[in-house]
Amino acid sequence: MFLPGHYPDRVTTAPERTDDRLPAADRLGLRTRIALHAGRLAGGLSRRLGRGSGVVVRGRVVLALDPDALSALASGRRSVVITGTNGKSTTTRLVAAALGGSVATNSTGANMGPGIVSALDDCDARSAVLEADELHVPSVMRATRPEVVVALNLTRDQLDRTHEVSRTSQVWARAFTAQPGVVVVANAADPHVADAASSGRPIWVDPGLRWTEDASVCPRCGAVLDWSQPGAGSGTEALSRWSCRCGFAMPTPDYALTADGVRLPDGAHLAFDLRLPGEVNRGNAIFAIAAAVALGVPAEQAADRVGAVEVVDGRYATLDLDGRQAPLLLAKNPAGWAAALSMIPDDAVMAIGINARIADGTDTSWLWDVPFERLAGRVVGATGDRRDDLAVRLHYAGATPVVEADLVRLAHLLPEGPMVVAANYTAFREMRRYVEGGLNA
Amino acid sequence: MPGPGTSAVRIVHVYPNLLGTYGDAGNAIVLCARLRLRELPCELIVVEPGQALPREGDVYLLGGGEDAKQTAAVQMMREDGALVAAAGRGAAVVGICAGYQLLGTTFLGVGGIPTEGLGLLDVTTGRLERRAVGNVLARAAAGVVGPEGEPLPDLIGFENHGGATVLGSAARPLGIMEIGVGNGVPSTTGQATEGAVQGSVFGTYLHGPALALNPALADLILSTATGPLGPIDDTLPEALRRHRRLHVLPATERAGRVRSVVKLLRRKDSAPSGASATLSGR
Ligand SMILES: [Zn+2]
């Protein structure tokens, strides 16, 4: 059906060439061009049928017709791959900003082969900043030959999918060993990430937060890790460091988060401001700065660009709940929730939405791994499919839950004060759709 | 043992770093909160590997964990000795998933090797053919009653395990399965059972925060230390149990029925297989 003669001449549709663009003509082989064309048609069809954005369908069709399409599309680019359980999308956005100029990126969060194919087909920028699912790191690295990989963290996610942190760490280690030239910007405070990154050329980052729940035993020898040692230095650098009796211990960070900025590898301090909220995003920001510096961007310039980022894929968007404004936060697992709760000001009124659909994990036990005790003594809204699970958790944490399925009604029921809404994955998606679609009608 | 109004009830959370996979800390939170809501003092003692277990605990909680951690934990508890001694003087011991298995006489440890448990429950654990993951409903087994002889309400929870557990004559099941897999091995009377109880030692596959969903079971465990406890406001836990019954469990049951039909259809063109669960390693 898609014969060569039917394929439109790519030169006529290519954007204007500039320095940061790839040469358009003849860059891709005939087979790849046919596959891309078929993919665009399938993606467009899927979108018109109302099956979502069509990004993934499009990439799947391309890869079915040309399994090497991703390497062909990535060839000639300077790529950065970002992976980890938490903060991938935000950090991808921050790295793309830090590099400056035109950047190809899978900003929609479709972070496996098909999504990345679509992103690279849409933009012929020389720089590519790609979010990759943890378990797809080897295949994405093989195809895109990145110069830098950012390895953020490894915590349990979607618990009933038997997702094992140590297994993922081994998958990464093999991928890093297979490409000895790649620079791995890695979280030194996460033992599983540190273990994997030691197989590559690591640049160590200490993002300031500590999440010890998934790192109780040494990834190398299985002994119980010691988290009691304070670090050297002041502020964040005084946070606990981990070590094991086998000799494996937290590497000395090249970049470390400080109270108002980052300590750079040469020991200099660089202060920066961030528009995105929360301590966890200051950590993500220094991963982005480190990645940009590894690609030749001066640290000051990277920090300025990162500081200007405001919104990441609607993640820090503000909901208008019948006149009551509330920023909306996404948290997908206990580590993400601990980070989200740390962003909530003391005077804020919080509403929380919890679902337990397939994409969230159908078991709600993880609610008990979240430190909701931080909300003790406060009135907290509970919504989402599993609002009753959440209400029991909040009750035993010493908070007073207000249980209500309808988010707008909940906003009316909660006490006065600045309101913040946080939700897990599918609840978050529904809230955005609900507020965008139904409210002002 | 302290009665109400005397010294604090001591809840010991055993090695959460090793046995604490899925929100297991919730059970300690629930037990303490249910005492405090009655204005009874509670002392929560969290013991990590390397620290000695207290000898004077009233309730010892053991959560779930991977094979390697389960094996490491059982060795440490045996060397420490306090838990077995406490069970001997009638303190409550509650094991969830891996914690349940290691309270038995044998379980499958690292690499599927049969490993000696603490022997506080007369149960042995092998492997299920197919991992059991999903919501669970079980009615309380005969003889499982509250502190004043009242029958315990149904057990509701979520299971996620690969263990097939056989009960010996000294242990009694905690529940009879309505929805879910539970112990995975039919009892001598052919009933599908869940968990085990032997004196004040409890084991269950209702994983993670099982006591959050089963307030009566939580109070039964507490009452081993305090004697019968007065009622408290359980509106929220009851609403959660109702939600599971009306909205969550029916879907699990439907999915289970589809699975059994598929299994039946498959059986017609292949040799019939035996029980749905078999023991390996023996
Ligand atoms: Zn070690």
Assign 3-class secondary structure to A382-434: EECCCHHHHHHHHHHCCCEEEECCCHHHHHHHCCCCCEEEEECHHHHHHHHHH
Cβ of A366 and B30 within 8 Å?
no
Q: What is the mean pLDDT of residues A261-290?
A: 92
Q: Give the residues across from B145 on adjacent strands.
A: B151
Q: Do residues B227 and B218 touch, judged by C-beta distance below 8 A?
A: no
B180 in contact with chain A, both atoms CB, cutoff 8 A: no
Say what the pLDDT of residue A209 is: 73
Segment B143-195, tens digit of pLDDT: 899 888 888 999 999 999 999 999 999 999 999 999 999 999 988 888 999 99
Q: Enter the DSSP assignment of A224.
A: B
Q: Enter the DSSP assignment of A14.
A: S
Q: Which residue has the tokens 């194919």?
A: A117
Residue B199 contacts by C-beta under 8 Å, 6 or more apart in sequence?
B87, B90
Q: What percent of chain A has pLDDT over 70?
A: 87
On chain A, the residues whose CB falls within 8 A of the CB of B49 are 224
On chain B, the residues whose CB falls within 8 A of the CB of A363 are 22, 158, 160, 208
Residues in chain B predicted with pLDDT less than 50, given as ranges, are: 1-5, 269-282
Say what the pLDDT of residue B272 is: 37
Residue of A nearest to B66 (CA): A164
In 3D space, the residue among A31, A41, A112 whose CA is nearest the CA of residue A67 turns out to be A31
Segment A27-86, tens digit of pLDDT: 888 899 999 999 999 988 888 887 677 888 999 999 999 999 999 999 999 999 999 988
Q: How far is the CA of B161 from the centre of ligand 1 (A)?
A: 28
Cβ of B208 and A224 within 8 Å?
no
Q: Where are the domains of chain A?
A: 9-22+76-307, 318-434
B75 in contact with chain A, both atoms CB, cutoff 8 A: no
Query: Same topology for domains A9-22+76-307 and A318-434, yes or no?
Result: no
Burial label for A319, CB within 10 Å (0-12, 13-18, 19+), is buried
pLDDT-derived band at A107, boundaries 50, 70, 90: confident
The HSE-up count of residue B228 (CA atoms within 13 Å, CB side) is 8
Say what the pLDDT of residue A8 is: 32
Cβ of B160 and A160 within 8 Å?
yes
Residue of A nearest to B19 (CA): A216
Q: Supply the mean pLDDT for chain A.
A: 85
Q: Which of A213, A364, A370 to mutate to test the interface with B (most CBs of B within 10 A)?
A: A364
Fold held by B9-232: Rossmann fold (3.40.50)
pLDDT-derived band at A5, boundaries 50, 70, 90: very low
Nearest residue, CB atoms, B17 vs list A224, A364, A395: A224
Token pair recorded at residue A137? 């790191």
Segment A372-390, tens digit of pLDDT: 999 999 999 999 999 999 9
Whole-angstrom distance, CA of residue A402 vs CA of residue A380: 6
Q: Where are the domains of chain B?
A: 9-232, 244-280
Whole-angstrom distance, CA of residue A119 vs CA of residue A141: 16
AA identity, residue A78: R
Q: Do residues A300 and A270 touch, judged by C-beta distance below 8 A?
A: yes
Cβ neighbours of A43 (radius 10 Å)? 25
In 3D space, the residue among A428, A175, A406, A422 whose CA is nearest the CA of residue A313 turns out to be A428
Whole-angstrom distance, CA of residue B94 vs CA of residue B202: 5
State pTM to two decimals. Answer: 0.72
Whole-angstrom distance, CA of residue A57 vs CA of residue A38: 11
On chain A, the residues whose CB falls within 8 A of the CB of B22 are 159, 363, 365-366, 369
User: Strand, coil or helix: what is A271?
Assistant: strand
The residue ranking higher by pLDDT, A319 or B193, is: B193
Cβ of A391 and B240 within 8 Å?
yes
Q: Which residues of B are catalytic?
A: 97, 207
Whole-angstrom distance, CA of residue A297 vs CA of residue A184: 17
Whole-angstrom distance, CA of residue A95 vs CA of residue A157: 23
Q: Which CATH number fits domain A9-22+76-307: 3.40.1190.10, 3.40.50.300, 3.30.450.90, 3.10.310.30?
A: 3.40.1190.10
Whole-angstrom distance, CA of residue B203 vs CA of residue B182: 11
pLDDT reading at A10 higher than 70? no
Indicate the CATH number for domain A318-434.
3.90.190.20
Token pair recorded at residue B18? 């090793």
Complex prediction ipTM: 0.89
Segment A199-254, tens digit of pLDDT: 888 999 999 877 766 667 788 887 788 887 766 555 555 577 899 999 999 999 99
Nearest residue, CB atoms, A388 vs list B30, B72, B239: B239
Q: Which of A218, A368, A380 to mutate to test the interface with B (most CBs of B within 10 A)?
A: A368
Say what the pLDDT of residue B250 is: 86
Q: Enter the DSSP assignment of A50.
A: T
Cβ of B17 and A397 within 8 Å?
no
Q: Give the residues across from B157 on adjacent strands.
A: B136
Cβ of A396 and B30 within 8 Å?
yes
Helical spans, DSSP H, in A24-156: 30-48, 55-65, 69-74, 88-99, 113-122, 137-144
Token pair recorded at residue A419? 């309101």
Residue of B nearest to A162 (CA): B160
Helical spans, DSSP H, in A86-127: 88-99, 113-122
Say what the pLDDT of residue B275 is: 36
User: Strand, coil or helix: what is A61?
Assistant: helix
Q: Do residues B92 and B125 touch, judged by C-beta distance below 8 A?
A: no
The residue ranking higher by pLDDT, B230 or A25, is: B230
In 3D space, the residue among A353, A393, A392, A356 whose CA is nearest the CA of residue A374 turns out to be A393
Burial label for B261, CB within 10 Å (0-12, 13-18, 19+), is exposed
On chain B, the residues whose CB falls within 8 A of the CB of A333 are none
Which residues of B22-67 form beta strands (DSSP E)? 42-47, 59-62
Q: How far is the CA of B65 from the centre of ligand 1 (A)?
A: 19
Burial label for B79, CB within 10 Å (0-12, 13-18, 19+), is exposed
Say what the pLDDT of residue B265 is: 65
In 3D space, the residue among A326, A319, A312, A333 whose CA is nearest the CA of residue A433 turns out to be A319
